[in-house]
Amino acid sequence: MFPALAESTEVYLDSASTTQKPRPVIEAVHRYHSSRTANAGRGSYPWATTLTRAVAEVRARTAEFLGAATEEIVFTAGATAGLNAIALAWGLAALDDGDEILYSPRDHASNVYPWQQLRATLRRFGRHIRLVPYRVTALGEADIDDIAAKLGPRTRLITVSHLHHVFGARTTLEELRGRLDPRVLLCFDCSQSAGHLPVDVEALGADFAVLSAHKMFGAPGTGVLYCRARVHDQLTAFLPGGNSAVAVADSGLAPGNMPELLEGGTPNLPGVLALGAALEFLDTVGLDAIAAHNRALTGQLIEGLRPVPGLEFLPGPAHAPCETGYGIVSFTLDGIGATDLGFVLAECGFLVRTGAHCVPSGSIAAADDDSVRVSTHLYNTAEEIDRFVRCVTTIATEVR
């Protein structure tokens, strides 16, 4: 089912970086390039109209996957592109002088840098917004009490990682339900949660959400931006081009319809078709089954590593009072740096991520800047986790 794994003896434990691709996804990309290649929404001949219908079907499937309406689904170049689209299409148009955005400096850089760039851009035009950082708990979750304490009359957006890319902790903001001013919008980075556990934007109360296709069995260069219908009148075209807006003489551009408003230019068509194949694959396997599998592997990994001398877990499920986990565990080991440990593990056949994991420099805790991250998915097995634990135990004994 996963050709790259079938031809390798190594154990892939870096799915938080990118997932391996199942054969139907690979075939979807190949089929677009090898049979009736055309553009979507641009022609009336059968090749083009068939592709237009296929893209519409993927949009509808994506909407169903998230519990959204089809006009709320925007195809992007990835989660990073989606978050930047929010900053440009909403932030530039909707934020006033003195408005505030609450964010976590310990989130992925893609959920930090766009807001910093937005602040710098607005400053050049005389508008000054504030970025208000909030803390992360020992469990790796957004600190709800700290967020609540920092909410103010000028708060306009709270942005969070639904599933943290280093800590493996889930944040839903459900504790704030009913306590927020309707003007406060909620943005969820679902790059790590989508494809690992069910994501329901209505249940989350999300106004914006972003997905990364390559982290959910799809192809690189494709993502999804969910924009709740209530914010559509606050958006402007950030990438003007074909389909994105309607020209008005001498007075700029009038907004087009969603989702075309935010989809200027030709989309990554093979990537969109691959996303459709990935969603079909996920539906066949079942997200509940995937979540249960990752939860079991996470628990097994934590309990196996807990007795290892000199090993220290970063915030996350290892510190939770009850069994939890979504397939991401990060740790350090006394006596050896994470990068060196990663090289040794690779020599032993285990492929993991090391370093700061795209957490912005200058905003990370001392323990976060050099760690090993293990991330699992449905193609990993309990036997592989046992072998990995034994390998880390041996390394820990030798370096001590």
Distant-in-sequence, close-in-space partners of 358: CB < 8 Å, separation ≥ 6: 108, 109, 110, 165
Residue 73 pairs in a beta bridge with: 226
Q: What angle do CA 78, 82, 88 make, to 5 degrees?
A: 140
For residues 61 and 276, the answer to whether their CB atoms sit within 8 Å is yes
Half-sphere exposure of 35 (CA within 13 A, CB side): 6
| Residue 136 to residue 270: CA distance in whole angstroms | 38
In whole angstroms, give the CA distance from residue 219 to residue 249: 40
**Catalytic positions, please?**
358
Token pair listed for 82: 């989606």
Q: Is the peptide bond before 255 cis (omega within 30 degrees of 0)?
A: no
* Contact assessment for residue 59 and residue 193, using Cβ atoms and an 8 Å cutoff: no
158 in Cβ contact with 205 (< 8 Å): no
Report the C-alpha gap between 342 and 297 in whole angstroms: 20
| Residue that has been written with the tokens 């200027």 in this structure | 264
Rounded distance between C-alpha atoms, residue 359 and residue 63, angstroms: 30
Cα–Cα distance measured from residue 323 to residue 318, given in angstroms and rounded to the nearest whole number: 9
Rounded CA separation 334/289 (Å): 36
